Each structure stands twice: as structure tokens, then as C-alpha cells.
Amino acid sequence: MLFRSYITPLLVCCIFILTGCYSPEDKEGHPEYFQVYYDKYDSSKNEDKEAALELLNNAFRSFPNPGLIDWFEKFDRDRDVAYYVKTNYIKAMSVSDSMLLLTEDKKEREAYASYHVRALFYKGDCYYKLKRYNEAFYYYSRAKQMAMQFMKDKCSLVEYDSYNGYLFFTQARYDLAASYFYNDCIQQMQCPQDNYNRFVIIQRNLDNIGICYYRLGRFDSADHYYNKALDYISQNESRFPQQHYFARLAKAVVYGNKAQMLEDMRKYSEAESMYIKSAEVTGLTDKAYTSSTQVSLAGLYIKMNKLNQADSLLTIVKALLDTLPNENAMLRWYRLKTELLVKTQQRDIAFDVLQAYNKLKDSVDIRDRKFAAMDINREFESMEQKALNAALQKDNQVKNMYLVIAVTVLMMVVAIVLLVWYNLRRSSRHVKELNRKNEDLQNAFNSLEQSHRENSHILRIMAHDLKNPISAMRNLVYSLLRKEQPAQQREILELVQDTCGTSLNLINDLLNDRRQLSSTRKELVDMARLLESCVELQQAKADEKNQQLYLVAEPAEIMLNTQKIWRVISNIISNAIKFSPPGTEIKISLQKRTSSVLLCVQDQGIGIPDEFKDKIFSAPEKVMRLGTFGEKSYGLGLSISKKIVEEHRGKIWFDSVDGKGSSFYVELPSLN
Ligand code: ADP
């Protein structure tokens, strides 16, 4: 358990560190760069394979960005060294894990299915070698299921049958195993023969059939298939010249098997020469296999009573087995050594060796018994089912995830649509309400404008209607005054005449106000001339009060509405006359400035008290005072004047000291 949970991942990590962190973005391979190293490796004999692998690793280190297929091919050879050369199945398994990790992503697993399947088989092989058959079943089943689902090349699937053959063979069900090897052979023969892997599989299957028949005691059939295997190798090895070492090894394996059979048939001398033939060939390429053959030969020597040869051979083999452990060969070695020691009367040592044999045999037996009790066929089906279920479950998980995402998105869409719909309804309600309010406002504004127009109209009619009778009255009084009148009556008539005049002025003001204020027409006017004419008109009033009007004006042409500005000037000058006592001076000046003209009317009149100062433009009715000769005030002039000046983008203001006099200023822009 510990071994499974910690060692394997640890080794995977080590492999990752040794091979560097790889996350190939480039998926394809670069055979133009690496093929030469692959060929070099593939054509090396077993003992040179590590050096060839080192060359490949160096090439990898100097290549900037190897692709996924490059990594796969390299790992394939890493695994080959671990599995065949070093028989280190733990390391071979961790390399297989790295290969599986390369195609971990679902998309890549499907696109590079043949690689993924190969890695699954490799992992199954490792478990098989470690006699962990449950796991071996699992990985073989996954490989088959994956291959059937995604691999287009059905020829690569037939290999699966030979894996079944191995498992039945391990269970000593040789007839069944032979039929699987045979089926696989027939199917492989129907597939293209230019594939080196296929060459390896076919010769191996033929040899395996031979072994099965041998184990069944059918020596003729066994011999037939051994010879078939040797013929097949001889006929096809020339097609794979680079793998000639393999062909020699394969032949050696068959020789070894034949030798074993000959030995059982008691044809000892033929068996001896066959063992020697086998060991000679494999001695060059595969020391592990050689040790196994030599153990068998030693056994034969004991049977032939060639005890000295047997002893020296066993000593040589022991040294080999110490460096390259091989469980089966070791068991056989212990057995033979015991037998030899007994035959040579060394019973004490024989007992120790036998004990070592028993210890190893017990542990192997316990493990193998467990396996033998299993019904492989049923186990296979259930494993396949499990693998299929796992795939389906994963598929379902993915589908469920998509479903949840789809439902969530749908709910969000519905929520958004509802929100938009609700807001649309609310805003359309608001728009309607606003429209209604707007209509109300518009109506109110219209009726206000209407009532204003009506008021103005009535006011003008009244002013107009009042003007005629008052004029008539004034004319009548005027004609009466031209006649002789008693002094008292004359006084009354003059008073009536004055009142009529003032009333007419007021009416004219009202009429002018409406007419003139609405006019916006402007013209280029010399302010000095305008000022002069105003002063002239006001001169009579000033004379009546014995006041002096002084005018100092520079010519200054500006754009203005003559009527309106005339009213402003007249109003200010007439106020100065009205609110100044007789005999005082009124100074009127017009000054040109950079971008404006400044009018100033300065009097020595009654001045404006502080409490009135902020009201005379805005609320003149509260500050209306009588003039120094009792002239009436109407509180209109200054507010109208302010409006007119502001219309001309100018300013109006005053300085005043109560009881001492006032100065009124009007500044108008000259660039209008
Ligand atoms: P009216 O001239 O018809 O009275 P105005 O709007 O011209 O109306 O003036 C408003 C008030 O401002 C006046 O009643 C007066 O109290 C004050 N006023 C204006 N001009 C002068 C001035 N030169 N001297 C003192 N008081 C003034």
C-alpha cells in the first residue's frame, strides 16, 4: 500500500525533474531533428541502449521546444531501458505515468489516442511483471476500451488478444492462452507487415504457442510452432536491418525453449547444444536472459552428471543474478545448487540453500495462489465494465456540469429579461407621468401667458382711454388760463393743469414701457449727441427750479436702442432735478473708456438714505419720495432703466450721501 501511495508518485516527480519541466505547446514532433537519435537507439544492443538514450537526452536538452510527440517518443525509449535493460518495472511504470500525463487533457487523449493507449498497455505490463494482476487487468482493459473508442487503425487493437494470452498463461490455462496467441497471430498477419512492432509481436506469439503446447506435453506441436517462429524471424529480419540484435535475441529465446523441451524429452546432448547456442547469442545482447538459460544448462549438466561443469556454471550465473535479479531464475538456481550440494555430499550447506529456496518460494507461492484463484475471464469483463463505467461516469459528470452551467445561464438570462422588462415598464410609466406633468406645466404656462397678454391689453386700453379725456381736460384748462381769471381760480386751474400734465406723462410712460421695452432694434448712435438732446429737453424743468445743468461729453458712437437709452438718461437727469433744491448744480458727463462709455449724473440734492439704498432698483414703491418742489414719484423709472441697461449688457449704480447729493452712473459697452 505504502509503495503504491508514495513511491510511484515520487518516481514520477523524479522523472519530471530529470527530464525537465515539460508543457509542450507544440503538439507535433520534429523527426527531422530527432529521428537519427531514435534510429541509433533502436539499432543498439541492450547493453548499449543506455548510452544511446543519453545521446537522445542530450539532443533533447539542446532543442528549444520539443513537441508532444517528441516527448512521447523519448519517454518510450526511457521506458524501454527501464523495462527491458534494467528490468526496473517501478521506474518503467513511472515513465508510463509521464506518458499518460502528456495526454491527460481530454482533447489530447482523443487526438493522440494511439500514444495514450500505448502508455496504458505499458503500465499494464509493469503491473503484470510485478505480479499485481488486478492492476494489470485494469490498465489492459482501459487500453482496449480507449483503443476501440478512438483509434481508427483496428490493426493496433488485435494486440489486446495477446495480453489475454499472457494472463491465461500465468494461470497455467495453456490451451486457452494458446488460442489467444494464435488468434492474435492470424489477425496481425492480415495487417500491414512493414511495422517493426508487428514483427516483434508475431514471432513472440508463435513462440508463445510453442511454449503453451510444450506445457501441455504436446511436444510435436510445440516443436512445430518453435520452428515456425524461427522461420518467421529468418524470413522477415532483413526488413528491419537496424533491429538485427533483436532478431538474434528472438532466435535465442526460441532455441532456449526448444532446449528445455529436448531436455524434457531426455534428448540431453541435443538440449545441451541448443542451450549453448542460445546462451552464445543472448550473451552478447541480454545478460538477464543469458543467466536464465545458463541456469537451465546447469540443471541439464546435473541430470547428465557433469557436476563440475554444473558447479562452475552456477557460480557464474550467481554473479549475474546478483547484479540482475530474476525471481524465477533465482528459484531455479537455489533448487539446482541444493541438488548439486546433495550429490557432492555437502548436506549442511545444501540445507542452508534449501532454506533460502523455501523462503523465496513461499512468498512467490502465496502471491501466485491468490492470482490462480481468480476467474480471469469474469475479472476481465468486470474490469472492462468498471473502466467503461468510469468513462461513462466521467462523461456524465461533464454532462451534468454543462447542464448546471446551462441552467444557471438560463436563470440569469430570465432574471435579466425580467429586470429589463420591469425597468422598461417603470420608465414608460415615468415618461407618461412626466409627459402629463409637462402638459400641465405647458397648460399653466399658456394660461399665464394668456392672462398676461390680457392684462397688458386691458392696461393699454385703460391708459389709452384715460389719455384722451385727460388731454381734453388739460386743453380745456389751458384755454381757460389764456383768458382773464381771478387769481384764486387761476391758481386752481394751474394746479389742475399740472396734475393733467403729470397724469399724461405717467400714461405715456405706461404706453411707452410696453411698446418700447418690446423693441430690440439697435443702431449706431453718438451718445454725446443723445445726451445733449436729453439735457436740452430737461433744461426747462431745471430753469423752473433755478438749477444749473453742466454737460461735459466726449463723442462716443455705440450700438444702442435710442428710445430705450433716451428713457434711461431722461429718467436719471429728471430724478436729479426732482430731488435737488433750487439753485444747485447738476453735472452731467460722458467719458470714453477702453471698451465702454461711462455716463455720470451728479447732483447736490437730498441724497438717498442708507435704508433705501438696496431697494431703489428692485422695490422702488417702498422708497418713493416727493421731489423738492413736491413733484410726485411713481417708482417705475429706475427699475425700467436697470432692465434696459442690462439688456445692453451694461451696468447701472449710484453713490449717495443722505442730505448731500447723489451720483448715478451708467456704463455701456462700446463694442456691442
Ligand atoms: P420716480 O422718479 O418716479 O420716483 P424712480 O424709480 O426714478 O421713480 O425713483 C425711485 C426713488 O429713488 C425715488 O422716489 C427717490 O426716493 C429715489 N431717487 C431717485 N433718484 C434720486 C436722486 N437723484 N436723489 C435722491 N433720491 C433719488
Give the integer Cα–Cα distance in Å for 638 and 615. Answer: 10
Which atom of ligand 1 has the smallest separation from the CA of 640?
6
669 within 8 A of 649, measured Cβ to Cβ: yes
The average confidence (pLDDT) of the chain is 82
Q: 662 pairs with which residues across the strands? A: 656
Residue 302 CB coordination number (10 Å): 21
Give the integer Cα–Cα distance in Å for 99 and 74. Answer: 10
* pLDDT value at 410 more than 60: yes
Instruction: Kindly indicate the confidence band of residue 201, based on its pLDDT and cuts at 50, 70 and 90.
Output: confident
* pLDDT value at 341 more than 50: yes
Ligand 1, residues 600, 608, 636, 653: which to mutate, most atoms within 8 A of Cβ?
Answer: 608
- Which of 116-120, 231-235, 287-291, 363-367 is the most confident on average? 231-235
Secondary structure letter of residue 46 according to DSSP: G
Give the integer Cα–Cα distance in Å for 103 and 133. Answer: 25
**Cα atoms in the 13 Å half-sphere on the side-chain side of 606:** 16
Contacts of 583 (CB under 8 A, 6+ apart): 546, 547
Rounded to the nearest 10 degrees, the angle between the axes of helix 376-482 and helix 487-518 is 150
Which atom of ligand 1 has the smallest separation from the CA of 601?
23
Which atom of ligand 1 has the smallest separation from the CA of 639?
6
* Ligand 1 centre distance from Cα of residue 305 (Å): 157
Question: Which residues sit with their C-beta closer than 6 Å to ligand 1?
Answer: 571, 575-576, 579, 603, 605-608, 616, 620, 623-625, 633-638, 662
617 within 8 A of 638, measured Cβ to Cβ: yes
* Ligand 1 centre distance from Cα of residue 581 (Å): 14
* Ligand 1 centre distance from Cα of residue 349 (Å): 148
Ligand 1, residues 633, 634, 654: which to mutate, most atoms within 8 A of Cβ?
Answer: 633
Instruction: Give the model's pLDDT for residue 8.
Output: 38
Instruction: Give the model's pLDDT for residue 392.
Output: 60
* Ligand 1 centre distance from Cα of residue 607 (Å): 9
* Ligand 1 centre distance from Cα of residue 547 (Å): 18
Which atom of ligand 1 has the smallest separation from the CA of 605?
24
Instruction: Kindly indicate the confidence band of residue 408, based on its pLDDT and cuts at 50, 70 and 90.
Output: confident
* Ligand 1 centre distance from Cα of residue 2 (Å): 113
- Taking the alpha carbons of 274, 279, 281, 282 in that order, is the dihedral positive or negative? positive
Phi then psi for residue 652, to 5 deg, are -135, 135
Which atom of ligand 1 has the smallest separation from the CA of 612?
16
Q: Cell 540482475 appears where?
A: 324
Query: Mean of the pLDDT values across residues 623-631?
Result: 88
3-state class of 567 per DSSP?
helix
305 within 8 A of 344, measured Cβ to Cβ: no
336 within 8 A of 306, measured Cβ to Cβ: no
Which atom of ligand 1 has the smallest separation from the CA of 603?
23
For residue 272, what are the CA distances in angstroms to 195, 211, 261, 360, 546? 35, 18, 11, 28, 167
Closest residue CA from atom 18 of ligand 1: 575
Residue 282: exposed, middle, or buried by beta-carbon count in 10 A (0-12, 13-18, 19+)?
buried
* Ligand 1 centre distance from Cα of residue 577 (Å): 10
Ligand 1, residues 538, 571, 612, 616: which to mutate, most atoms within 8 A of Cβ?
Answer: 616
Query: Mean of the pLDDT values across residues 108-115?
Result: 80
Phi then psi for residue 547, to 5 deg, are -105, 150
Beta-strand ranges (E) seen in 445-584 are 523-526, 548-553, 557-560
Closest residue CA from atom 20 of ligand 1: 575
Give the CA angle between residues 528, 529, 530 to the nearest 5°.
90
Ligand 1, residues 502, 541, 575, 623: which to mutate, most atoms within 8 A of Cβ?
Answer: 575
Instruction: Kindly indicate the confidence band of residue 2, based on its pLDDT and cuts at 50, 70 and 90.
Output: very low
Residue 648 CB coordination number (10 Å): 20
Instruction: Give the model's pLDDT for residue 380.
Output: 54
- Residue 371 CA, distance from chain mean position: 52
Closest residue CA from atom 11 of ligand 1: 624
Give the CA angle between residues 329, 333, 334 to the nearest 5°.
125
Using only C-alpha atoms, the chain has a radius of gyration, in whole angstroms, of 63
Query: Mean of the pLDDT values across residues 357-365?
Result: 82
574 within 8 A of 634, measured Cβ to Cβ: no
Which atom of ligand 1 has the smallest separation from the CA of 664?
23
Instruction: Kindly indicate the confidence band of residue 447, based on its pLDDT and cuts at 50, 70 and 90.
Output: confident
Q: Which residue has the higher pLDDT, 557 or 322?
A: 557
* Ligand 1 centre distance from Cα of residue 416 (Å): 69
* Ligand 1 centre distance from Cα of residue 576 (Å): 8
* Runs of H (alpha helix) within 89-173: 89-102, 106-111, 113-129, 133-150, 159-170
Q: 592 pairs with which residues across the strands? A: 597
Residue 627 CB coordination number (10 Å): 18
pLDDT, tens digit (0-9, with 9 covering 90-100), for 520-554: 678 899 999 999 988 988 888 899 899 999 999 99
Residue 383: exposed, middle, or buried by beta-carbon count in 10 A (0-12, 13-18, 19+)?
buried
Q: Which three cell numbers stand for residue 322?
A: 546478483
What stretch of H or E contains 340?
helix 327-343
Q: Which three cell numbers stand for residue 239?
A: 526488413
Q: Which amino acid is at 560?
A: L
* Ligand 1 centre distance from Cα of residue 575 (Å): 6
* Closest to 182 measured CA to CA, from 228, 138, 215: 228
Which atom of ligand 1 has the smallest separation from the CA of 661?
24
Secondary structure letter of residue 597 according to DSSP: E
Instruction: Kindly indicate the confidence band of residue 225, based on its pLDDT and cuts at 50, 70 and 90.
Output: very high
* pLDDT value at 391 more than 80: no
Give the integer Cα–Cα distance in Å for 242 and 41. Answer: 10
Q: Which three cell numbers stand for residue 101?
A: 500525463
- Which of 8-17, 34-43, 75-84, 438-447 is the most confident on average? 75-84
Give the integer Cα–Cα distance in Å for 22 and 61. Answer: 11
322 within 8 A of 356, measured Cβ to Cβ: no
Q: Which three cell numbers stand for residue 34?
A: 530527432
* Ligand 1 centre distance from Cα of residue 350 (Å): 149
Give the integer Cα–Cα distance in Å for 357 and 336. Answer: 10
Which atom of ligand 1 has the smallest separation from the CA of 571?
7
Closest residue CA from atom 14 of ligand 1: 624
622 within 8 A of 639, measured Cβ to Cβ: no
Ligand 1, residues 601, 604, 624, 634: which to mutate, most atoms within 8 A of Cβ?
Answer: 624
Instruction: Kindly indicate the confidence band of residue 223, based on its pLDDT and cuts at 50, 70 and 90.
Output: very high
* Ligand 1 centre distance from Cα of residue 579 (Å): 7
Q: Which residue has the higher pLDDT, 583 or 195?
A: 583
Give the integer Cα–Cα distance in Å for 116 and 108. Answer: 9
Give the integer Cα–Cα distance in Å for 350 and 334. Answer: 9
Instruction: Kindly indicate the confidence band of residue 4, based on its pLDDT and cuts at 50, 70 and 90.
Output: very low
Give the integer Cα–Cα distance in Å for 205 and 128. Answer: 17
The fraction of the chain above a pLDDT of 90, given in percent, is 30
* Ligand 1 centre distance from Cα of residue 615 (Å): 11
**Cα atoms in the 13 Å half-sphere on the side-chain side of 55:** 16
Instruction: Give the model's pLDDT for residue 18.
Output: 39
3-state class of 579 per DSSP?
coil
Instruction: Give the model's pLDDT for residue 156.
Output: 64
* Ligand 1 centre distance from Cα of residue 586 (Å): 15
This prediction has a pTM of 0.44
- Residue 94 CA, distance from chain mean position: 35
Which atom of ligand 1 has the smallest separation from the CA of 579?
24
* pLDDT value at 207 more than 70: yes
Closest residue CA from atom 23 of ligand 1: 576
User: Dmax of the chain from CA atoms?
Assistant: 193
* Ligand 1 centre distance from Cα of residue 596 (Å): 26
For residue 583, what are the CA distances in angstroms to 40, 546, 549, 603, 637? 135, 5, 11, 11, 24
* Ligand 1 centre distance from Cα of residue 624 (Å): 7
* Ligand 1 centre distance from Cα of residue 532 (Å): 22
Give the integer Cα–Cα distance in Å for 346 and 337. Answer: 11
Query: Mean of the pLDDT values across residues 595-618?
Result: 93
For residue 290, what are the CA distances in angstroms to 92, 130, 324? 22, 21, 11
Instruction: Give the model's pLDDT for residue 115.
Output: 85
- Taking the alpha carbons of 432, 437, 438, 439 in that order, is the dihedral positive or negative? positive
Q: 664 pairs with which residues across the strands? A: 601, 654
Closest residue CA from atom 25 of ligand 1: 607
* Closest to 226 measured CA to CA, from 198, 200, 251, 201: 251
